[in-house]
């Protein structure tokens, strides 16, 4: 087993009906850009009734058809927010928890200590989060997963992974391994994936690899490390 293998993200998820929600963070092959991606999938009508919107550089999930919303508590939230030189991306309202924690001087992992997995028994969907910390024309990043310690939701296990940026390397964390009942949750360290130089190449590769029946929305941002100029791509299945 080659623990240093860098995977093609399309090969990791193609043919998998349900990896849930996913976060990718890494650096382009040429070392010039920080890359961040977030996608959502859904099986129920309530979960599928969503779109991404972007407002002032922040990304939100919103209902596609407000008349069909059943329970907004776990599906409507700010997914991406900026605090000073840090970019936060998560799969739930813990985005705001991290943002407020940073304002109070807490670290990424300390801010998440007051949160746990989602209360959607029997799945107990993990909360996955990431943060990019920009400094000196470069960056480092962290990823977190909060997941149930057992099938009863008795306790919460918290895992934080810290990375220095490496040219062409990204890390991919997602909520589920595949479909199921209950749905098996992600295990282990975030997967190593290749980050191409071109934002459109990466966006197309990721979107086309996601299961067509269950994918909902994708957002990708590439940030030039010298100029701080951002290139953003947003795709919604619901139009």
> Which residues lie closer than 8 Å to 235 by C-beta, 6 or more apart?
203, 207, 217, 218, 219
How far is the CA of 224 from the CAs of 79, 81, 96, in angstroms? 21, 18, 25
Tell me the pLDDT tens digit for each residue of 139-192.
999 999 999 999 999 999 999 999 999 999 999 999 999 999 999 999 999 999
pLDDT at 67: 86
- Bin 94: left if φ > 0, else alpha if -120 < ψ < 50, else beta: alpha
Do the bridges between strand 78-83 and strand 58-63 make them parallel or antiparallel, or are there none, so unpaired? antiparallel
CA-closest candidate to residue 35, choices 170, 162, 129: 170
Assign 75 a pLDDT band (cuts: 50, 70, 90). confident
Assign 216 a pLDDT band (cuts: 50, 70, 90). very high
pLDDT at 239: 86
Task: Sheet containing 215-224: give its strands across.
Answer: 191-194, 169-174, 22-27, 33-41, 215-224, 230-236
% residues pLDDT > 90 (the chain): 92
User: How many Cβ atoms sit within 10 Å of the Cβ of residue 25?
Assistant: 27
Between residues 73 and 202, which one has the greater pLDDT? 202
Task: Sheet containing 58-63: give its strands across.
Answer: 50-55, 58-63, 78-83, 86-90, 127-135, 138-148, 156-164
Q: How far apart are CA 76 and CA 197, in angstroms?
A: 31
pLDDT at 74: 81
pLDDT at 102: 98
Residue 29, exposed/middle/buried by CB under 10 A (0-12, 13-18, 19+)?
Answer: middle
pTM confidence score: 0.97
């Amino acid at each position: 087993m080659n623990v240093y293998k860098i995977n093609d993200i399309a090969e990791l998820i193609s043919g998998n009906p349900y990896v849930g929600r996913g976060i990718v963070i890494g650096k382009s092959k040429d070392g010039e850009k920080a890359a961040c991606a977030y996608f959502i999938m859904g099986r129920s009508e309530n979960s599928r009734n969503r779109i991404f919107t972007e407002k002032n550089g922040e990304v939100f999930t919103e209902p596609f058809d407000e008349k069909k919303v059943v329970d907004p508590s776990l599906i409507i939230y700010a997914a991406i927010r900026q605090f000073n030189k840090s970019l936060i991306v998560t799969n739930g309202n813990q985005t705001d928890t991290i943002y407020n924690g940073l304002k109070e001087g807490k670290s990424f992992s300390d801010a998440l200590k007051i949160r746990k997995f989602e209360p959607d028994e029997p799945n107990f969907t993990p909360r996955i989060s990431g943060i990019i910390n920009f400094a000196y024309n470069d960056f480092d990043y962290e990823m977190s997963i909060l997941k149930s310690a057992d099938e009863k939701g008795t306790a919460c296990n918290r895992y934080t992974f810290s990375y220095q940026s490496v040219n062409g390397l990204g890390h991919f964390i997602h909520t589920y391994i595949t479909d199921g009942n209950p749905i098996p949750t992600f295990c282990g360290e975030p997967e190593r994936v290749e980050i191409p130089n071109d934002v459109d190449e990466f966006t197309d590769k990721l979107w086309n690899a996601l299961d067509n029946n269950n994918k909902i929305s994708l957002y990708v941002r590439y940030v030039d490390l010298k100029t701080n100029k951002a290139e953003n791509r947003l795709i919604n299945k619901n139009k």
